Structure 1
Amino acid sequence: MSPFLQTSGTRAVRPSALPASKLLALGLALACSGCLYGFQAGAGFPDYVRTVAIVPFENETTRPEITDEVFNLLLREFPRSQGLQPAGEDVADAVIRGTITRYDVSTPSYRAGAAGDVPQVLQRQVSLTVQVQIINQVDNEILWESNAVSVRGEFMEETETEDAGRALAIELLVQRIIDGAQSNW
């Protein structure tokens, strides 16, 4: 049996076929409905929080350069990721404060040497831990906090330096802070 139905003896019409005007209307409706959806970075902050201050973190480690490295990357990435404008602490709607509590370099991967030989280090990692708070200064409430954001930046002993591992750890740290801020909403 043919999938076509004969109507008036001359023209074959598929029973499930829709007229072109109905297809066009359906297509326009679907296209327009997609236009109603939008995404705004930082939509999770209260509407009145439009600015953020990032205060250099206190540093309890023996590596003073980490303070500036964390501050600079956080200042560059956080406001942009949340749709906020950077501002001074005295005028900002929100403020980020923190403390760098741990920095160490370890050797998670090495090859044991023959009897009496020194083991060959294959990989090292920089471990970094911070305490962080994001405070809504308008309502004086904590929007997000963590007492131990920990990250590890790994680097190959033979081809990279500790600086590469530290840079990776700081990138991961900033991303974790961004993720934490977004997870609250």
Structure 2
Amino acid sequence: MTPSGAAVDAHRWPLTRRALLVFGAIALCAGCYGFSGGGGLPRNLKTVAIQPFDNQTAAPELQREIFDQLRTVLRDRLNLREAPEARADLVVRGTIVTYDVDLPLGATADARNTASNRRRLQLVIDIEIIESATSRVLLARKGLSREGQYAEGGEASGRKNALESIMADIVEGVQSQW
């Protein structure tokens, strides 16, 4: 009821007035929510030093690819800046244990008698991420293994898929500490 005694029918409000109320409520709620930065890490963890991984495989390019992927993922998904080990909040080290390629996955043939072979590769690493100030181990994974599938002759795409999966596991493992 209004002061004059007439009932207010909410359905008679002009559409623009209702829309403004809805958008105002959404804006008000959105102002209460925010990101603290750091990808879910404590505010004191801002920098990282990534040591080149020991490579126990016959593929020398893996060391560089893993290093580059780690730099990108830790910067973009965890909001960490690179720093020298002496000044870094976190230190990443690891070993590339296994890299097996050309493992048969299967073959297919179509009606035109053309065959295509699918292959897979397996990548296994050990990784350790340590908080420098406390020597606390944030992540320690031995034998972190992922496979990548690829068409015959497309090893690079299979390796990329395996690396992306490993990087997602690393980020998830670090974030799970908080």
Under TM normalisation by the shorter chain, which class is it?
0.7 to 0.9
Q: Which has the larger radius of gyration?
A: 1
State which of 138, 141, 159 in structure 1 corresponds to 2:133: 138
Amino acid across the alignment from 2:42: P
Secondary structure of residue in 1 paired with 2:125: strand
State which of 120, 126, 137 in structure 1 corresponds to 2:121: 126
Gaps of 5+ in 1: 1-6, 113-119
CA contact (8 A) 2:122 2:145 kept: yes
Residue 177 (structure 1) aligned with residue 174 (structure 2): no
Aligned to 1:78: 74
- 1:78-101 CA-to-partner distances (Å, cap 9, x unmatched) read 122111111111210101111111
Structure 2 CA distance for aligned equivalents of residues 19 and 164 of structure 1: 58
Query: What's the TM-score once normalised by structure 1's chain length?
Result: 0.76
Structure 1 CA distance for aligned equivalents of residues 92 and 46 of structure 2: 14
Structure 2 CA distance for aligned equivalents of residues 73 and 43 of structure 1: 17
Aligned to 2:112: none
CA contact (8 A) 1:94 1:136 kept: yes
Residue 88 (structure 1) aligned with residue 84 (structure 2): yes
Structure 1 CA distance for aligned equivalents of residues 50 and 29 of structure 2: 39
CA contact (8 A) 2:39 2:77 kept: no
Structure 1 CA distance for aligned equivalents of residues 8 and 159 of structure 2: 69
Q: Percent identity of the aligned residues?
A: 34
Structure 2 CA distance for aligned equivalents of residues 73 and 27 of structure 1: 41
The total of aligned residue pairs comes to 166
Aligned to 1:68: 64
Structure 1 CA distance for aligned equivalents of residues 116 and 13 of structure 2: 72
Residue 168 (structure 1) aligned with residue 161 (structure 2): yes
Q: CA 1:43–1:167 in structure 2 vs 1: closer, same or farther (change >3 Å)? A: closer
- Backbone CA RMSD of aligned residues: 2.9
Q: CA deviation at 1:174?
A: 1.9
Gaps of 5+ in 2: 110-114
Amino acid across the alignment from 1:71: F
Q: CA deviation at 1:161?
A: 2.0
Query: What's the TM-score once normalised by structure 2's chain length?
Result: 0.78
Aligned to 2:33: 37
Amino acid across the alignment from 1:177: I
Q: CA 1:30–1:111 in structure 2 vs 1: closer, same or farther (change >3 Å)? A: closer
Q: CA deviation at 1:111?
A: 5.1
Aligned to 1:108: 105
Q: CA deviation at 1:110?
A: 2.5
